């Protein structure tokens, strides 16, 4: 290559990154078991363009999308063509060190492939898998999530790999962003993992326009490697379709194969998706089988679906139904937007009020939820930061207005002050006391007056949350977007239902207590009422059997059959007439 040709080639590589990657880099193809040229398809080229044009990027991807590989190739090009007086400092962060080192090794592998005329080599000063340096002073460092990850290192390009699985809070994210050098770039890559506190928060804010991140969405049905035999299915659940294909009529399936998938018109696919079809292919079927038809895994690994991808307590179908059919604005917003009223109280309806109490000066909020047991719906919600005694005053006013049976969470001790304050104020609509023997409620309990009204939520967390989840499945209606938002961040952590780090569950706790106590108390009251009616009826029947059929009764005349001489054994005796005859005027 002549000097003039070399200058033209260098200029071309500088200006056209996809050309440079295709021309000089190779990647290992598992299907062919050999290295092949790094051939980019449309979505991958758009991703590279976003990296070039924007300083803040977030990539939403499916499994085997090749995003990590393409990102590593792009990073290698930035390093290879960087000037020594302006080196690139790359920092790769992942939840596990192995994950970040794997990407660093991809970068190393691509750097080794650039031609000699680029003029770079690995420095002997630093040349470890975790941290290596190049002859032009560029560096690549791989770390796991920790408070010390950024100490002593100012990156020009910050890469979060599998960001949705990073176990950290917003403080860690803020520290990472603060460490980025002026004019530096940040790239966030991941498959979804529910509503996590880092990746999803960035994505959601970017959608609302609250940050400067450019979203690069990649969907498997646009990947030409997997869609040569693409077809569309009219279904809400592809797992069900693949397991029960014989139940679906032929007109539910539309085949749209092409000779060259790189030239596919994706507007046709988009049109079918808008009409309720789901894309499928031979590759997609094999992937679902590998995932054992696990809907959560399919949503996470293949469908780029935040809603169904995490270990959510409330499944994606339920959340979708709630968001489409229930969530609405309240009839009234009072107390500085803290109190929302969805329905006014109705005479004769049974209401239950759940109170979740906080200190009033911490991160948690105090919350009151009132539900209508008869119509099975949420009618009032209060969320605010107030002390326990002030919450009692709010509960007294609104609970009294609805004549609502009250249950308070005693966990942590804050609820004790609220319950005692309600007692002091003379709350008249009833307060739930835990561990009362409802089967024998007339039995005298010497410690009854010492018991504090309320329930220990953590002691019965699983049962209480399960009661709320079951009620939702059977038609219980919620309307509050605040409650719905908490439900999206409520997951199983080590088998225990709890909120994600940095999130809240105050609305969930208060309404779950109300539903749990409503079902337990009112059903028991109904059961006891029916039992009491049965006892009364049995007593009435016993009395009726001995009742004299004569309509005439004279207390001075013995009742019985005078002809046979048979008289009731429990009739008045001679002594009775002597003692009580004066009542009838006798002596």
Note the pTM of the prediction, 2 decimals.
0.65
Task: Supply the DSSP string of 155-214, one letter for each residue.
Answer: -SEEEEETGGG----HHHHHHHHHHSPTT-EEEEEE---SS-TTHHHHHHHHHHTSS-PE
Q: Looking at per-residue confidence, does 373 or 177 come out higher?
A: 373
Distance CA 64, CA 220 (A): 9
CATH of the domain at 77: 3.40.50.300
- Rounded CA separation 50/56 (Å): 9
Cα separation of 161 and 91, whole Å? 11
272/386 same-domain check = no
Residue 191 has pLDDT above 70, yes or no: yes
Beta strands 351-356 and 277-280 are unpaired
Same domain, 274 and 203: no
**pLDDT at residue 498 above 50?**
yes
In terms of residue numbers, what domain contains 585? 555-587
Among residues 218, 244, 279, the one where a domain terminates is 218
Residue 245 burial (CB < 10 Å; 0-12/13-18/19+)?
exposed
Residue 554 has pLDDT above 70, yes or no: no
Among 279, 310, 341, residue at a domain's last position: 310
Distances (CA, A) of 329 to 205, 382, 575: 22, 14, 79
Query: Are residue 521 and residue 443 in the same domain, yes or no?
Result: yes
Contact (Cβ atoms closer than 8 angstroms) between residue 206 and residue 213: yes
* Residues 307, 319 contacting (CB under 8 angstroms): yes
Query: pLDDT tens digit string along 123-143?
Result: 988 999 999 999 999 999 999
Check whether 316 has a pLDDT greater than 90: no
Would residue 432 count as lying in a domain?
yes
CATH of the domain at 475: 3.30.420.240
Question: What phi and psi, each to the nearest 5 degrees, are found at residue 528?
Answer: -65, -35
CB neighbours of residue 363 within 10 Å: 9
Which tens digit of pLDDT belongs to each residue from 224-239?
999 999 999 999 889 9
* CA dist., res. 283 & res. 301, Å (int): 13
Total domains in the fold of the chain: 4
Separation in Å, CA 361 to CA 271, 358, 388, 438, 502: 51, 8, 11, 38, 16
Residue 246 and residue 116 in one domain: no
Q: 339-341 and 26-29: which strand pairing?
A: unpaired
556-566 pLDDT per residue, tens = 445 455 444 55
Angstrom distance (rounded) from CA 435 to CA 582: 55
Given a cut of 60, whether residue 587 has pLDDT beyond it is no
Residues 180 and 32 in one domain: yes
User: Does residue 15 form part of some domain?
Assistant: yes
User: What's the pLDDT tens digit per position in 368-406?
Assistant: 999 999 999 999 999 999 999 999 999 999 999 999 999
Position of tokens 């539910």?
252
CA 198, CA 500: separation in Å to the nearest integer?
A: 11
Distance CA 241, CA 284 (A): 13
Residue 490 near residue 497, CB atoms below 8 Å: yes
> What Rg, from alpha-carbon coordinates, does the chain have?
36
Same domain, 212 and 235: no
- Across-strand partners of 356? 367
Q: Are 107 and 134 in contact (CB under 8 A)?
A: no
Task: For residue 537, tell me if it sits in a domain.
Answer: no
Q: What is the Cα–Cα distance from 295 to 237, expressed in whole angstroms?
A: 9
The 3-state secondary structure of 61-107 reads CCCCCCHHHHHHHHHHHHHHCCCCCCCCEEEEEECCHHHHHHHHHHH
Buried/exposed 323-357: b ≥16 CB within 10 Å, e otherwise: eeebeeebeeeeeeebbbbbbebeeeebbbbbbbb
Is residue 546 one of the residues assigned to a domain? no
In a domain, 515, yes or no: yes
- Considering only residues 333 and 541, tell me which one the structure prediction assigns the higher pLDDT: 333
Do 208 and 305 share a domain, yes or no? no
Give Cα separations from 418 to 33, 279, 399, 452, 575 (angstroms).
Answer: 68, 54, 13, 10, 63
d(CA 163, CA 198): 7
426 with 353, same domain? Answer: yes
Residues 173-183 have a mean pLDDT of 77
Region 50-58: mean pLDDT is 94
Domain boundary among 194, 218, 242: 218
Report the alpha-carbon distance of residue 96 to residue 194 in Å, rounded.
19
For residues 63 and 287, the answer to whether their CB atoms sit within 8 Å is yes
Query: From CA 385, how far away is CA 364, in angstroms rounded?
Result: 8
- Looking at the fold, whether 109 and 256 belong to one and the same domain comes out as no
Nearest to 510 by CA among 481, 483, 471: 483
pLDDT exceeds cutoff 50 at 549: no
């Amino acid at each position: 290559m002549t000097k003039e040709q070399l200058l033209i080639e260098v200029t071309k590589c500088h200006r056209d990154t996809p050309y440079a990657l295709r021309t000089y880099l190779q990647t290992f193809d598992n299907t062919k078991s050999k290295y092949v040229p790094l051939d980019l398809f449309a979505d991958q080229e758009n991703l590279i363009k976003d990296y070039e044009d924007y300083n803040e990027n977030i990539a939403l991807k499916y499994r085997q999308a090749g995003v990590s590989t393409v990102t590593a190739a792009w990073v290698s090009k930035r390093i290879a063509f960087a000037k020594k007086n302006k080196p690139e400092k790359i920092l790769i962060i992942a939840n596990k060190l192995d994950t970040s080192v794997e990407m660093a090794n991809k970068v190393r592998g691509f750097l080794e492939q650039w031609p000699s005329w680029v003029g770079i080599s690995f420095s002997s000063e630093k040349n470890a898998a975790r941290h290596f340096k190049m002859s032009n002073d560029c560096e690549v460092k791989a770390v796991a999530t920790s408070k010390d990850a950024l100490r002593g290192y100012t990156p020009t390009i910050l890469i979060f790999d599998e960001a949705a699985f990073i176990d950290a809070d917003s403080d860690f994210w803020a520290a990472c962003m603060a460490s980025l050098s002026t004019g530096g770039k940040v790239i966030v890559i991941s498959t979804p993992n529910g509503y996590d506190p880092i990746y999803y928060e960035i994505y959601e804010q970017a959608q609302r326009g609250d940050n400067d991140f450019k979203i690069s969405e990649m969907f498997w049905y646009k990947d030409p490697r997997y869609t040569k035999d693409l077809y569309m299915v009219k279904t809400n659940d592809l797992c069900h379709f693949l397991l029960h294909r014989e139940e679906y009529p032929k007109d539910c399936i539309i085949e749209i194969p092409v000779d060259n998938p790189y030239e596919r018109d994706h507007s046709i696919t988009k049109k079918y998706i808008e009409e309720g079809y789901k894309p499928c292919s031979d590759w997609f079927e094999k992937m679902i089988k590998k995932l054992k038809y696990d809907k959560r895994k399919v949503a996470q690994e293949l469908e780029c679906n935040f809603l169904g991808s995490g270990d959510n307590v409330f499944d994606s179908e339920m959340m979708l139904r709630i968001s489409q059919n229930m969530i609405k604005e309240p009839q009234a917003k009072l107390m500085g937007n803290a109190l929302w009223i969805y329905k006014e109280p109705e005479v004769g309806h049974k209401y239950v009020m759940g109170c979740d109490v906080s200190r009033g000066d911490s991160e948690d909020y105090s919350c009151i939820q009132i539900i209508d047991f008869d119509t099975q719906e949420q009618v009032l919600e209060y969320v605010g930061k107030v002390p326990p005694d002030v919450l009692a005053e709010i509960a007294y006013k609104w609970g009294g207005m609805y004549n609502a049976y009250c249950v308070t969470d005693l966990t942590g001790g804050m609820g004790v002050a609220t319950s005692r304050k309600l007692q002091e104020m003379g709350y008249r609509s009833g307060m739930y006391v835990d561990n009362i023997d409802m089967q024998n409620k007339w039995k005298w309990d010497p410690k009854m007056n010492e018991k504090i009204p309320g329930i220990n939520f953590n002691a019965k967390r699983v049962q209480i949350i399960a009661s709320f989840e079951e009620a939702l499945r059977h038609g219980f209606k919620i309307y509050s977007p605040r409650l719905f938002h908490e439900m999206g961040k409520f997951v199983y952590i080590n088998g225990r239902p709890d909120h994600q780090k940095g999130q809240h569950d105050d609305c969930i706790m208060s309404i779950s207590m109300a539903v749990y106590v409503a079902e337990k108390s009112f059903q028991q009251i109904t059961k006891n009422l029916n039992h009491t009616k049965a006892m009364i009826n049995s007593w009435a029947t016993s009395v009726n059997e001995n009742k004299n059929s004569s309509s005439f009764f004279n207390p001075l005349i013995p009742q019985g059959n005078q002809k046979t001489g048979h008289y009731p054994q429990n009739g008045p005796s001679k002594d009775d007439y002597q003692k009580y005859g004066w009542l009838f005027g006798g002596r």
